[in-house]
Amino acid sequence: MRLGVFGGTFDPIHIGHLVAAQNAMHAAKLDRVLFIVANQPWQKEGTREVTDAHLRYLVVTQVLESIPGLDASDIEIRRGGLSYSVDTLIELNTAHPDYELFLVVGADAALQMPTWERAEELSRLARLVIVNRYGYPTIDNVLDFDEPILAEMPWLDISSTDLRERVRDHRPLQFLLPETAIDAIEVHSLYRGDEVIN
């Protein structure tokens, strides 16, 4: 099994995430991609309130249940505490020693990887797949990963940050994220007063 490991805050999940995962799957010939919902995205803390992890996981699960090959994982929520990709890869390697793991990241996340917890351990745990992202330079080497796989996707200038601002400003969301996620934002009254913490 060639398994893609795609971490995110998914607050909310959007079309950029889905297109990135599909193109990573194609480029790296992956059998499945796991969307790992971060419990506490420590590098995003202090800037704004992150939506409850169980609710973010519920919405990701609902969106992915109709999409073949993409699965939601609550492995970081069950582990609790700050979310470190290195711990997730170790846990997956231990549970599935026969799987080949591929860490999937957008170009913005790839640029940040040297700042991740125990970053120097990552390259012995998984291969790396980098998906291009609008607004960020394409990079083809990170840390000491051996030949990262570059996954091409159409530039989609979609981010969770912009979607939260759209909700707050009553601007349209349609086609930027799945209907299921739009419904969840409505039902749970998410992002209405999304405040930036200074």
Ligand X SMILES: Nc1ncnc2c1ncn2[C@@H]1O[C@H](COP(=O)(O)OP(=O)(O)OP(=O)(O)O)[C@@H](O)[C@H]1O
Least gap, CB of 146 to ligand X (angstroms): 20
Q: Does 148 bind ligand X (CB under 6 A)?
A: no
- Site residue total, ligand NCN (CB under 6 A): 15
Burial 74-97 (b: 16+ CB within 10 A, else e): bbbbeeeeebbbbbbbeebbeeee
Q: Does 8 bind ligand NCN (CB under 6 A)?
A: yes
Q: Which stretch in 12-20, 59-67, 70-78, 94-102 sits in contact with ligand X by CB under 6 A?
A: 12-20
Q: Does 57 bind ligand NCN (CB under 6 A)?
A: no
Least gap, CB of 36 to ligand NCN (angstroms): 6
Q: How far is CA 128 from CA 72, 143, 188, in A?
A: 20, 10, 35
List the single partner that 20 binds among ligand NCN, ligand X, none, CB under 5 to 8 Å by kind.
ligand X
Q: Which stretch in 2-10, 92-100, 176-184, 186-194 sits in contact with ligand X by CB under 6 A?
A: 2-10
Q: Does 38 bind ligand NCN (CB under 6 A)?
A: yes
